[in-house]
Structure 1
Amino acid sequence: MAADVKGEGEGRAARGLFVATISTGSFLLFLVQPMVARMALPRLGGAPNVWNSAMLVYQALLLAGYAYAHMLGRLSLRRQTIVHLALLLLAGSTLPVGLFDLVQPKGLPEALWVPVLLGLSVGPVFFAVSAQAPLMQRWFAADPGAGQPWALYAASNLGSFAGLLAYPLLAEPLLTLRSQSIAWSCGFALLISLVILCAASRRHALPPPPSQKQLWGQGVRIPGRTMALWLALAAIPSGLMLSTTTHLTTDIFAMPLLWVIPLGLYLLSFVVAFADNRAPAAAIAFVTPVVVLFAGSYAMLSNGSGTLWIAGGACLMLFCIATTLHKRLYDLRPAPAQLTRFYLVMSAGGALGGLFTALVAPLVFDWAWEHPLLVMAAAVIMPLDPILRWRSGEGIEPGMARVALLLLLAFAAFLGWQLDQRALRPDEGLAAVLLTVFLTGTGIMVMAWRTAFVTVLALAMVAQGGIWTIRATLGGERTRSYFGIYTVRDTADGALRTLAHGTTLHGEQSLDPVRSREALTYYGPTSGVALALNAVPHLEGAAARIGVVGLGTGSLACRAVPGQRWTFFEIDPVILQFSTSERFTFLRDCTPGARVILGDARLKLTDMPAGVFDVLVIDAFSSDAIPVHLLTKEALQVYARALTPRGLLLLHISNRYLDLAPVVGTNAAASGMTALSRLDRPIDTALYTPSRWIALSRDGSVVKDLARISADTPWTPLNDRAARPWTDDHASILPFVRWDRLTGRP
């Protein structure tokens, strides 16, 4: 009895050791990705195609790590230990983590250069750590008496979730990038120590006896159809996680750090689905069809009328779908001997889902069509356990069941027609919700027929604003690039043409030829930028050289006066196309000789000679996302270098969810610049939008003269201060989030 108790105690201790090792490895993985991304911002710029390339590197390294773990499993445990520890030590020789000092070869495109740079910078340690989860599970299962290893994968994703939260909440706000790198290196040393202890705990492990080899799964062939199903069950949640982020930030609720929520829920779904306690996963799988019917009806909504509740429903749906499909993946798991093969295929599925959403969809679709498509795919593949079993109930003939099904589908079509009439009308909100509830109930009643279930879901999507989305696509109103989804639309009365990026208006132009040169929205006559540009002839002379970072519709071009030389910086060729194709004519009508430079403005300005501009306007924010690398102290120094000693810098910091004034105030003080603020609340809100502009100069007399010239519309000193300046080495948006606006309070 004493020996049994001792054995159980040792087993629990070994299990705890393996859980700690796997969790530590996953925690480190989810810390190093955003850390390297922050390191690369000043050097590579903030273009999304850069981060798409980075994600390809991470996914490729993760897949390679899983393949390495699978191949290593063919060796004896002793040889596995020697090889893996040697790999960890070799990878550790590249620490601390930092960008590799390599100059980009001439002619090598960014699409190839970025993967090479990131691969050299973080590739060795990322590859070594990525193999931890499957390899440690295999080592754990090397002892036939240790129990099933699958719950350790739940621990792996719990570690990933902890790392995901730790970076934006702790590491980024509290530590500089240098300190983060050193702390990560210490974590890597801890991981090596834990791996050594895990190997020591299995030094006497024996292979399973011949009588258990079949149960263990050795020599068992896995059908290709099963592996294809593994692939699909892993790919759909992975793609849906990314598509949910795109859909929410584009059309529903573009709040800061929103990307953390879908990714966190995706990771937590593994924790539930792979846990030893099967009850929570089973309960979630039971209610998932209902959640998909209700929340999935909003998957084609794209008119910017979303609310926090709809965003919450989309996140709930993601978690339910991911948990349900991952539960089915768990139910289809092989015997322990095939563990690394299982995780290799699952990793490949996750990579395929990510590739479809991050790379293929922006090239193929004009809107986030991948989101409703993935919801539909989940409805096709998820297990359906009918809540109402009337199809197979006693006394119900098949013919009667089919007639009832047709009647229910007809009723669903009627409900969809009614919903379409009310979905986008604010005064019909309650009626729309009730119709959605009835449609959900109809879908529940036909769950016994998968085709009918999917049909009701499609009807709900189309009716819940989907018609509007389809018409926008057929009308050619939208254009998509790696930088965003843009909608160009004329107002119902034909008076204005607008450019929107998701839920954020980026500019508009009057279609009245008499007023077509008027700068509207954030650039109205009382806005800070209008006041400053009107004062430029007095401040800088008649031949001022003016640079504008962020083209948009080109509204600012019509603030130009004869004799000035204008240069625009624009990161997205699609935005430039709107002006060159004359969908917006500001550029053609007002500054036909202006130069437009494509690329990340900070990098382009760094390459230009000093003192090339008299005025520099920074208006480069996309939706409510903040390109941090354009607001750091080093960025301010880049702008100051590009300006003459008396040059004027104008920053547009209007934002719904972030108060950026303290950041600019502190950075300006640290850079020796004098700053004034102009908060504009225009009277005519039909044409002009409230805005906040900051004017800065190294020569204090310039901003004083600006204030004097604009005395009728006063500027105020920028007294807002942050605790510390934003730098390339340390910046966090958390202290500046307007939490009351996120919760909907005034």
Structure 2
Amino acid sequence: MSPAAGGTRAARPLFVATILVGSFLLFLVQPMVARMALPRLGGAPNVWNSAMLVYQALLLAGYAYAHLLGRFSLRRQAVIHLALLLLAALTLPVGLATLAQPAGLPEALWVPLLLGFSIGPVFFVVSAQAPLMQRWYAAGDGAGQPWALYAASNLGSFAGLLAYPLLAEPLLSLRAQSLAWSAGFGLLVLLVACAAFTRRAAKSTLTASSGERGSDGGSGSEPIPARTVGLWLLLSAVPSGLMLSTTTHLTTDIFAMPLIWVIPLGLYLLSFVIAFADGCGAVSMVSRGAPVVVLYAGSFAMLSTGSGTLWMAGAACLMLFCVAVSLHGRLYDLRPGPGQLTRFYLVMSAGGALGGLFTALAAPLVFDWAWEHPLLVLSAALLMPLEPLLRWRGEDTDPGMARIALGLILAFAGFLSWQLSEYAMRPESNLTALALTIFLVGSGLMVMAWRAAFVAVLAMAMVGQGGAWTIQASARGERTRSYFGIYTLRDDPDEQVRTLAHGTTLHGMQSLSRARSREALTYYGPTSGVALALRAVPRILGQRAQVGVVGLGTGSLACQAQPGQRWTFFEIDPVVLAFSRQGQFTFLRQCTPEARVILGDARLKLADLPPASFDVLVIDAFSSDAIPMHLLTREALQVYRRALSPRGLLVLHISNRYIDLAPVIGANARDGALHALSRLDYPGDTTRYTPSRWIALSADRGVLAGLAQGEADSPWSPLKEQAPRPWTDDHASILPYVRWDRLTGTP
């Protein structure tokens, strides 16, 4: 063994450490900046998807930089890269840029622009770490193949993602997180300098190094066929897009927070760790089981009538993981020689950005529903390795008989799909639906010798598992999609009502009967906390109260207005306002035609209004089933108090399937010296009214005392739940308040 080879092996831990630290920092900063953006951008799932699009674009730019840097000698590469690291350090500590949204610029473009200005320099230069360090490492004599270092890179990324929701967010304020990240960046610069020092004797770039051969049998400098490059792009784009579409589902119906955001991204990164590890048999094992998972979990990809439980969400995440491992494993099998290393990573990154561009930017503009999700699942089925269980197309098989068998199986699958569509939507028929789904999965496995047939069975399963209803809803024009969500308007002729759903969560309802069209239904019924509070307002605060409502929805609360009052609604999504102005819902037109409607993020808009603008402020803002976190912090409460008169009444809607928000409100009320009452409403008529929980707060105890006047038995009770400390913009974690029993579906 030559001294140079010995030195190269000794340097391997240094390069591994450098790559691990860089990747750890890279993916720790992603949820950290997204969390910083919540007070300004809100918690809509597309905010995270926009953030991911920015990250992928910056990653692509970093990989392109690493590829172009390969034209220089290693000594010059080190000088340039260290200089850029030091320049990027001038933008630390990490924080959100103080940039105002230009008039007329849509959120789909504004959010990426803001995040790009905030994190661009450091993310760009750190993103180049993985391919650049691998290139430097492979340039050493006897270093060997560098691909395992990419697995180390993704392991560091995975660790960074897990560290944020489990350690950084619960234990550190955003300021402390930013300072800690800056210290880590300093460590990274030191490690890069040490790695460069170990390669000070290298005289040339990697392309002039050893003639090691890639898995395709060609030397590292041979041209790569366009078909191979195209496959690299597709095998990178589909898992990336599927990761984002899975994220949309989870954040829409559970909670817009980093804990949820990082799960699909973490699984996506973990798939690289497995796929790019040397001599890892796990890829083959996962790839063999992936068709079963895709057929079963993928059958729910077109379901749009219910969010299911943690088990259904878990199945979606398992499918993402299996697809990503299978496709990234195939990508690894197509890798070139080390001389084409940075080109390979550049194309991979371009594919990832392409998938992100399709899911985060194109799909919301093109589709009325999350059609990108089933499309990406079907695309994965077209690309993933398939090992047939039955040798229908072997030399000893009669082609005619095989075609007849194929036709019979597809016909049987079509019959199963038709039957499944009859039972899947009935809760009392779960066992029958499960049996039909299992038979469909079996049919798909039997025809894996024909990829087109396998994909066809998967599509049939999607249609049968609720997809038929989803297709019909789009065909009837019931859906509208915006940057902030997917809305479904549906008329129920049996109940004579029109409903508005955001994602899979009911957001309002209006009777189609003219005689009952003013009745507030769902969460706003006569025994709900908000109805009780608004009825008491004239008695407590006078006949000419100023009332503000954050979150328009269907406009149900408008008909709670009383003579002499002036109402103002705040709504972030113009699409929701259009439902009222175009007549789909008539509460606003019938009951408060003179009401002012302010478009934009309510917290920012309230801060711009004069103090004491309202006597009553109702916070009823939801993103599907989740109240955006930035509307529940100490700073948000301070904005509300400023907007309220000294005796003002604040009413918060905190109904949520998965998160118990009452302790948070209790802690914030204590912190702000506010008195609080709770109203948990279980209406008798559950066809028109929905159980709800409302919290009433005021600095004046007499105002809350007045809520119970005139009631034989007070429907209000003191809010006793209290978290150990209030939520703030700088520090908030929902982990202690997750309703795990609801997530798992247990009573």
What does residue 152 of structure 2 align with? 155
Q: Distance in 2 between matches of 1:735 and 1:9?
A: 51
Distance 1:209 1:706, change over 3 A: closer
User: Which deviates further from its counterpart, 427-436 or 75-84?
Assistant: 427-436
Matched, 1:622 2:626: no
- Aligned-residue offset at 1:734: 1.2
CA deviation map 1:83-138 (0-9, x unaligned): 11111111112211123345566777666655454333322111111110111111
- Aligned-residue offset at 1:198: 1.5
What does residue 443 of structure 1 align with? 444
CA deviation map 1:164-209 (0-9, x unaligned): 1111111111111111111001110111111122122222346579
Q: Secondary structure at the match of 2:733?
A: coil
User: Which deviates further from its counterpart, 484-493 or 75-84?
Assistant: 484-493
Matches within 5 A, 1:249-260: 249-250=251-252, 257-260=259-262
Q: Secondary structure at the match of 1:388?
A: coil
User: Which deviates further from its counterpart, 506-515 or 707-716?
Assistant: 707-716
Amino acid paired to 1:378? A
- Aligned-residue offset at 1:54: 3.8
Q: Distance in 2 between matches of 1:710 and 1:389?
A: 76
Distance 1:212 1:118, change over 3 A: closer
Q: Secondary structure at the match of 1:213?
A: coil
User: Which deviates further from its counterpart, 404-413 or 65-74?
Assistant: 404-413
Q: Distance in 2 between matches of 1:254 and 1:36?
A: 17
1:47/1:571 contact within 8 Å kept = no
Q: Secondary structure at the match of 1:499?
A: strand
What does residue 505 of structure 2 align with? 504
User: Which deviates further from its counterpart, 638-647 or 710-719?
Assistant: 710-719
Matches within 5 A, 1:293-312: 293-304=295-306, 306-312=308-314
2:549/2:619 contact within 8 Å kept = yes
What does residue 342 of structure 1 align with? 344
Matched, 1:676 2:677: yes
What does residue 687 of structure 2 align with? 686
Q: Secondary structure at the match of 1:514?
A: helix
- Aligned-residue offset at 1:453: 1.5
Q: Distance in 2 between matches of 1:21 and 1:656?
A: 43
What does residue 737 of structure 2 align with? 736
Matched, 1:386 2:367: no
Q: Distance in 2 between matches of 1:491 and 1:112?
A: 37
What does residue 211 of structure 2 align with? 213
Matched, 1:355 2:357: yes
Distance 1:483 1:136, change over 3 A: same
2:238/2:355 contact within 8 Å kept = yes
1:45/1:603 contact within 8 Å kept = no
- Aligned-residue offset at 1:43: 3.9
What does residue 487 of structure 1 align with? 488
Matched, 1:548 2:520: no
- Aligned-residue offset at 1:633: 0.8
CA deviation map 1:463-499 (0-9, x unaligned): 2211111111111122111111111112251422211
What does residue 234 of structure 2 align with? 232
What does residue 243 of structure 1 align with? 245
CA deviation map 1:307-357 (0-9, x unaligned): 433322222111111111111111111111111111111111101101111
Distance 1:12 1:431, change over 3 A: farther
What does residue 28 of structure 1 align with? 25
Matched, 1:325 2:327: yes
Amino acid paired to 1:667? N
Distance 1:561 1:94, change over 3 A: same
Q: Distance in 2 between matches of 1:311 and 1:42?
A: 27
Q: Secondary structure at the match of 1:258?
A: helix
Q: Distance in 1 between matches of 2:114 and 2:704?
A: 42
What does residue 605 of structure 1 align with? 606
Amino acid paired to 2:318? L
Q: Distance in 2 between matches of 1:468 and 1:40?
A: 36
CA deviation map 1:229-283 (0-9, x unaligned): 11111000000111122245557x6797433322221111111111112311011
- TM-score in terms of structure 2 length: 0.95
Q: How many matched pairs?
A: 741
What does residue 92 of structure 1 align with? 89
Q: Distance in 1 between matches of 2:409 and 2:328?
A: 31
2:239/2:323 contact within 8 Å kept = yes
Distance 1:225 1:186, change over 3 A: same
What does residue 717 of structure 2 align with? 716
Identity of aligned residues (%): 73
- Aligned-residue offset at 1:533: 0.4
1:495/1:511 contact within 8 Å kept = yes
What does residue 198 of structure 1 align with? 195
Q: Distance in 2 between matches of 1:486 and 1:16?
A: 52
Amino acid paired to 2:608? D
- Aligned-residue offset at 1:646: 1.2
2:252/2:623 contact within 8 Å kept = no
CA deviation map 1:444-477 (0-9, x unaligned): 2211111111111111211221111111111112
Q: Distance in 2 between matches of 1:567 and 1:626?
A: 20
1:416/1:439 contact within 8 Å kept = yes
Distance 1:476 1:713, change over 3 A: farther
Q: Secondary structure at the match of 1:651?
A: strand
1:250/1:485 contact within 8 Å kept = no
Q: Secondary structure at the match of 2:329?
A: helix
Q: Distance in 2 between matches of 1:348 and 1:169?
A: 31
Distance 1:209 1:663, change over 3 A: closer
Matched, 1:123 2:117: no
Measured on the aligned residues, the alpha-carbon RMSD in Å equals 2.3
1:486/1:499 contact within 8 Å kept = yes
1:46/1:600 contact within 8 Å kept = no
Matches within 5 A, 1:104-115: 114-115=111-112
Match of 2:169 among 172, 180, 188: 172
Q: Secondary structure at the match of 2:494?
A: coil
Amino acid paired to 1:488? L
User: Which deviates further from its counterpart, 42-51 or 498-507?
Assistant: 42-51
Q: Secondary structure at the match of 2:260?
A: coil
Q: Distance in 2 between matches of 1:167 and 1:437?
A: 38
CA deviation map 1:534-583 (0-9, x unaligned): 01111121111100000111111111111111111011111111111222
- TM-score in terms of structure 1 length: 0.95
Q: Distance in 2 between matches of 1:737 and 1:262?
A: 19
Amino acid paired to 1:530? A
1:63/1:344 contact within 8 Å kept = yes
2:48/2:261 contact within 8 Å kept = no
- Aligned-residue offset at 1:52: 5.2
CA deviation map 1:386-445 (0-9, x unaligned): 121132142x22222222222222222222222222222223222222222222222222
1:522/1:691 contact within 8 Å kept = yes
Matched, 1:181 2:182: no
Q: Distance in 1 between matches of 2:354 and 2:614?
A: 46
What does residue 274 of structure 2 align with? 272
What does residue 223 of structure 1 align with? 225
Q: Distance in 1 between matches of 2:292 and 2:378?
A: 14
What does residue 132 of structure 1 align with? 129
Q: Secondary structure at the match of 1:472?
A: helix
Amino acid paired to 2:430? G
User: Which deviates further from its counterpart, 255-264 or 565-574?
Assistant: 255-264
Q: Distance in 2 between matches of 1:384 and 1:535?
A: 66
What does residue 17 of structure 1 align with? 14
2:378/2:455 contact within 8 Å kept = yes
2:46/2:360 contact within 8 Å kept = no
Q: Secondary structure at the match of 2:481?
A: strand
Distance 1:254 1:500, change over 3 A: farther
Amino acid paired to 1:177? L
Q: Secondary structure at the match of 1:522?
A: coil
Q: Distance in 2 between matches of 1:417 and 1:39?
A: 48
What does residue 581 of structure 2 align with? 580
Q: Distance in 2 between matches of 1:673 and 1:541?
A: 21
- Aligned-residue offset at 1:305: 6.3
